[in-house]
Structure 1
Amino acid sequence: MPDTKQDVLVSWIGGNDIVSAQRGQDGPILSTIKANTFDRIELLYNYPDEEVASFLDWLTSQVVTPINVTKVILSSPVDFADIYQAASALLNDLSNQKTKLSILLSPGTPAMQAVWILLGKTRYECLFYQSSKEQGVELVEIPFELSAEYIPKVSKIADEKLINMADSQVPIDAAFDNIITRNPRMMALKSQAQILAQKTVPVLIYGETGTGKELFARAIHNASSRQNKPFVAINCGAIPKDLADSVLFGHKKGAFTGAVSDKLGVFQQANGGTLFLDEFGELTPEVQVRLLRVLQESRLTPVGATSEISVDVRIITATHKNLMDGVIQGTFREDLFYRIAVGVLHLPPIRHREGDLILLTEMLLESLSKQDESLSKKLSVEAKNLILKHPWHGNIRELQSTLLRAVLWSDTDSVTGSDLESALFKMPTKENDLLSLDVSQGVDIQKVIGDLVKHYVLETLAFTGQNKTQAAQLLGLKSQQTLTNWMEKYGISQS
């Protein structure tokens, strides 16, 4: 399939551009557009709207290339944080649109130019241009490598000790200080969790695998009035269906084959404390019914028992599933959902925790070094850039195991890009899972459509015995000719 990427030029609108337009002269932006061929122009501006409107009228009268503009509110044209947020948001959006990026460095303040270089050398593949009256329009080669991640401003950074969040075993004394972050969203979640810790309401924690759901649960328990009582954690997805009642509510001796003694269920084990039900969305509807009754009445009957017992348990649940979808589809009880979803925390994946990825990487490397001096390594610039670009669907657990492998593979004092590349697991995407493609890695939407068309056209032709008229009807197409046109467009051969 031919390359369908659009060539996009990105730039701030600068004072020289506006003044040049007022004089009827070519400024840096117009000069660059005339000197090169682009499919689209994306401009950021922080000038008054009336000045920019006049400039755009002039610019669009000189070129036929489509131009999009985005107004940005900056506290100052030299405020690095505001500039970074605006520039990064635009580049991130464009990188997900299958584009070839070019950045014009000349317009704007030195701070704007510095941020373009930082982003273009670390996070987004691009070409750099500069334009001046003296030198004209030039393609710029920046002869050095960088690896950097934006660190947002926060009022207070948590104690940067060895991060237990990166460990597969959450410490029993986990506290909110163990949740290391510089990300504003995560800082807000920590604050919300600290408020919930002082209450007795049920808490539901959403998040992908490895995002730290149990760490949050333990921190909530340890900051609550129940901190000196039991904290019991169980993975609901690992409970055998025929033993679910026994595991949750306990059983009496002789209640079933193999019940050779009385056994306390997790509710009884956690009595007075906190019960953490991980992968809560895996419970069957039948178990959900019985669980709801226990949560409503704080009373349960062990399997084989003849009388109820009272329990006092604070419930924290966690899941990677969207339970509201389960409610709509009928796989999860609506009344149970509203019972457990009082305090709700959505933990973001680390690929969305801007500012935290390299921080977490350094913490994990420090942890490895403390465990064994032979594992003390530094990361090369290339390795850091690979870390920043990888989607990390396994989140901190995947990051931890990848770093360990890379450190083991490395035969020098530094982990190279090659070492890290060898340590990464690149999970293949299921061809039939068209709704779960990773947009952060780029999606060839034309290929996706082509694969889908090919699959169903061939399947329908096989079903109709290669009768194109019937196949067209089954596919909802107007005629056999329409089907033929589709087959020609997507290169589908009739067997």
Structure 2
Amino acid sequence: MAKSKTTVLLSWIGGNDLSKVESGASTLLNGGAIASTLANCEFDEVELLYNYPQENVDPYLTWLSALTKSKVSARYVEMTSPTNFDEIYKAAHALIRSQQGKHHDISFLLSPGTPAMQAVWILLGKTACDATFYESSIEQGVRKVDIPFALAAEYLPAARKIDEIKLTDISMSRVPINAAFESIITRNPTMEMLKNRAQVLADRNVPVLIYGETGTGKELFARAIHNASKRSNKPFIALNCGAIPSELVDSILFGHVKGAFTGAVDDKKGVFDDAHGGTLFLDEFGELTPPTQIRLLRVLQEGTFLPVGGNKERKVDVRIITATHQNLFDLVSKGSFREDLFYRVAVGVLNLPPIREREGDLLLLAEHLIRELKEAEPSLQDKKLSISAKNFIVKQSWRGNVRELHSTLMRAFLWAANNLIEQTDIEEAMFTSKPQVSGLMSHDIAEGVDIKGLMDDLAKEYIMRALAYTGQNKKKAARLLGLKNYQTLNNWMEKYHLQ
């Protein structure tokens, strides 16, 4: 009788995986990309790579191992940068080699880690082994993704020599340090109006709140405002509040003194110190906990703060620009966000539209990115988009906005066999779902099932997905879920204790 294959999931550990657990996730479904994948799909073993401090990773591994039947293993990778293609390739390839020859069925989880890590998984999954690819997100859940193009193994050495810095900057949609309002590519009237308003705000030393879905250009606007302001020769410090472990928030924001807590071997400045005289950009601002909101309000009101473990206040001069995809006013009405802090930061407000609502901008952005890619990789100077590719691009919804458009076009640009990038190249570069049996549907009826519990899990999962997809807009989320109104959705959320 043939020996059945051992199913193995390979993945990098992402910062979001760690932060979800550190913030108190109690189930696999709300514990980040890796945990959600294990909740929906069964694997015999899980092999993880990470470049985070051991003290941050150990609690996560303990939590994950306790909630899954899979055997969980992890290895630390020494890297100079999480975007260094060569270092990522060596680490991932070594992990794959350790699995080969063991009669294993290998899958890669693409979601955690940097775009460079994702690109290397695809390269290796198409050349070094026959792998299955998975993605996990709040918006679309866990799904197998079909990457239909083929790669020759000979491409790997060349891929490792591509100008990694330029391509990584493009793939991550990094905002240039010298970003100006001219850097905001648009011909859309609404965007032009927002650029004009942002220029007015740049001349005034007031807080700015920027709303917008992921990938709409919130940091680009923040950079442009700073660079056009009187603070342009001072620091611009960007911080993603949603990626900060809860126990480190105060230290990262305000710094700490030596001995303030275990591991505080020296005095360390926080981002308020780093941004003194300049601008502090707080992305995912709605993720801050109420205690942190109180301390932040004091800094904004009085311009002073106390480092963790310190007894001497520091004075700071910082302009605050905040950004979020959440409806803060809705959070205020629910009591999860302080009203006084909301009005303190929402002096100048910019609401950035998704690119699907920016008429005339899709092709403009696509052509601009192709020009950037040609500059980054001169050997591909002759590549361009066909008419069919352009028509296809315009018809897509691009739920990930500019970020999704960028990553899709970058894959199509690199993998297209001919100089003319066709519609099929764009289609192949877009990750598409494969039908799969959900973890909710895979229980053995012979062993009995908790049907009420399964129905509750299903309801909670899709409520959270709908809220994430609509940017926490309850009215739209209720419509997507087939509920009569947002009050009905509120009742469901209260029933399942969802925030």
1:287 to partner: Cα distance: 0.6
- What is the match of residue 410 of structure 1? 416
2:414 partner letter: L
Which residue does the alignment assign to 1:34?
Answer: none
Cα 1:244–1:380 change in 2 (3 A) is same
- Aligned partners of 1:166 and 1:364 also within 8 Å: no
Structure 1 partner of 2:288: 283
Instruction: Give deviations 1:84-132, integer Å, cap 9, x for gaps.
Output: xxxxxxxxxxxxxxxxxxxxxxxxxxxxxxxxxxxxxxxxxxxxxxxxx
C-alpha displacement at 1:436, in angstroms? 6.2
Partner AA of 1:346 in structure 2 = N
> Would you say the 8 A contact 2:212–2:352 is kept in 1?
yes
Of 343, 346, 349, the residue aligned with 1:341 is: 346
Q: Kindly tell me: are residues 281 and 428 of structure 1, through their superposed partners in 2, closer, same or farther at Cα, counting changes over 3 Å?
A: farther
Cross-structure match for 2:393: 387
Contact 1:165 1:215 in 2 (8 A): no
Partner of 1:419: 425
The 2-side partners of 1:215 and 1:165 are apart by 13
Determine the C-alpha separation between the residues in 2 that align with 1:186 and 1:428: 36
Q: Distance in 2 between matches of 1:257 and 1:366?
A: 50
Q: Does 1:187 align with 2:195?
A: no
Ranked by relative contact order (alpha carbons within 8 Å, sequence separation 6 or more), the top structure is: 2
The answer (yes or no) to whether the contact 1:406–1:419 under 8 Å persists in 2 is yes
User: Quick check: 2:170–2:406 contact (8 Å CA) kept in 1?
Assistant: no
> Which residue is equivalent to 2:357?
352
Q: Deviations over 1:275-298 (max 9, x none)?
A: 110110110111111111111110
What is residue 121 of structure 1 aligned with on the other side?
none
* Distance (whole Å) between structure 1 residues aligned to residue 359 and residue 480 of structure 2: 31
The share of aligned pairs that are identical, in percent, is: 62
Shift of 1:392: 0.7
Letter in 2 for 1:282: E
Deviation at 1:172, TM superposition (A): 1.1
Query: Which runs of no fewer than 5 residues in structure 2 stay unpaired?
Result: 1-168, 436-457, 471-475, 484-499
Contact preservation (8 Å) 1:250, 1:302 = yes
Give the Cα–Cα distance (whole angstroms) in 2 for the partners of residues 446 and 262 of structure 1.
51
Aligned: 1:307 with 2:312: yes
2:210 pairs, out of 197, 205, 209, with 205
Q: Which runs of 5+ in 1 are unaligned?
A: 1-163, 451-495
Residue of structure 1 aligned with 2:462, choices 408, 432, 435: 432
For residues 277 and 193 of structure 2, what CA distance do their matches in structure 1 show? 29
Question: Is 1:233 the equivalent of 2:238?
Answer: yes
User: 1-side partners of 2:197 and 2:186: how far apart?
Assistant: 15
Deviation at 1:408, TM superposition (A): 2.4
Match of 2:180 among 175, 183, 186: 175
**SS at structure 2 position matched to 1:432:** helix
Q: TM-score, normalised by structure 2?
A: 0.54
Q: Could you tell me how far 1:380 is from its partner in structure 2?
A: 1.8
TM-score normalised to structure 1 length = 0.54
Whether the aligned pair in 1 keeps the contact of 2:304 and 2:316 (CA below 8 Å) is: yes
Equivalent-residue separation in structure 2 for 1:446 and 1:214 (angstroms): 31
Alignment-derived partner of residue 152 in structure 2: none
| Per-residue deviation, residues 194-226 of structure 1 (Å, max 9, x unmatched) | 000000110000111111111111111111111
- Pair 395,428 (structure 1): closer, same or farther in 2 beyond 3 Å: farther
Residue 383 (structure 1) shift: 1.3
After the TM superposition, which residues 219-258 of structure 1 pair with which residues of structure 2 at under 5 Å, given as runs?
219-258=224-263
Is the CA contact (8 Å cut-off) linking 2:211 and 2:352 kept in structure 1? yes
1:256-267 correspondence runs (5 A): 256-267=261-272
Q: Secondary structure at the match of 2:462?
A: coil
1:316 and 2:346 matched:
no
Counterpart of 2:405 (choices 399, 402, 409) is 399
**Cα contact 1:326–1:332 (8 A) shared by 2:** yes
- 8 Å CA contact 1:165, 1:178 repeated in 2: no
Question: Partner residue of 2:98?
Answer: none
C-alpha RMSD of the superposition:
3.0
Change (3 A) 1:428 1:218: farther
Cα 1:165/1:348, change in 2 over 3 Å = farther
> Which residue of 2 is the match for residue 31 of structure 1?
none
Q: What SS does the aligned partner of 1:276 have?
A: strand
Q: Deviations over 1:302-326 (max 9, x none)?
A: 1111121111110000011111111
Q: Distance in 1 between matches of 2:421 and 2:170?
A: 23
Q: Quick one: distance in 2 between partners of 1:315 and 1:246?
A: 18
Per-residue Cα deviation, 1:134-182 (whole angstroms, up to 9, x for no partner): xxxxxxxxxxxxxxxxxxxxxxxxxxxxxx9986221111111111110
- Per-residue CA deviations over 1:445-476 (Å, capped at 9, x if unaligned) read 999759xxxxxxxxxxxxxxxxxxxxxxxxxx
**1:225/1:238 CA distance change after superposition, 3 Å:** same
**Residues 171, 407 of structure 2: 8 Å contact kept:** no
| Structure-2 separation of matches of 1:259 and 1:447 | 48
Write the distance in 1 (CA, Å) between the matches of 2:480 and 2:311: 63
Contact 1:402 1:420 in 2 (8 A): yes
2:219 to 201, 214, 218: 214
Partners of 2:177 and 2:366 in 1: how far apart? 23
